[in-house]
Amino acid sequence: MLRAVLIAAALVATPAAAKDSLGVFGSWAAFRDPPVPRCYAIAMPAASKASRDYAPFATIGTWPRRAVRGQVHFRLSRKVAATAPIILSIGGQRFTLAGGGGDAWASDRAMDAAIVAAMRSARSMTVSGRDAKGRRFSDRYPLEGAATAMDAATVGCARR
């Protein structure tokens, strides 16, 4: 799993040499990218035999120069249909995400904060939608270690 997380991190950020590992926590890892600067927690979804257009991952990012903290982003496993809703389910809560192509994110900072809070107390989360061919898809993420990885990312960018 560590290898999978590191591969996902390479997909998210600029050259691998630019990233500092802040640790691996359960299914999640945290990284700092000093040149930007940004820090993020990242994970790949549970293994799936379903076809994929992209290598999916979830990130929770902090961008100190932009005064952004806890920004939620998903790379989806498939290209989503233009009019299809993208739903994130965490525990008993559901969030309708903004998105397009292969990406989804919270619609505003309040939703980012609500998602992060829900992640801290749940065991897993699932993002789902319909792809460009009308097929339903979902990516399930275990949340073991997510809270610690998010905290590590926040602290990692606080000590510039």
pTM for the complete prediction?
A: 0.85
According to DSSP, the residues that pair with 115 across neighbouring strands are none
Average pLDDT for residues 8-36, to the nearest whole number? 75
pLDDT of residue 158: 83
pLDDT of residue 19: 83
Neighbours of 135 (CB within 10 A): 12
Please say whether the structural domain 20-159 has been given the CATH code 2.60.40.1880: yes
* Upper half-sphere CA count for residue 37 (Cβ side, 13 Å): 16
pLDDT tens across 97-117, in order?
Answer: 999 889 999 999 999 999 999
Comparing 62 with 36, the larger pLDDT belongs to 62
pLDDT tens across 103-157, in order?
Answer: 999 999 999 999 999 999 999 999 999 998 899 999 999 999 999 999 999 999 8
Domain boundaries, the chain: 20-159
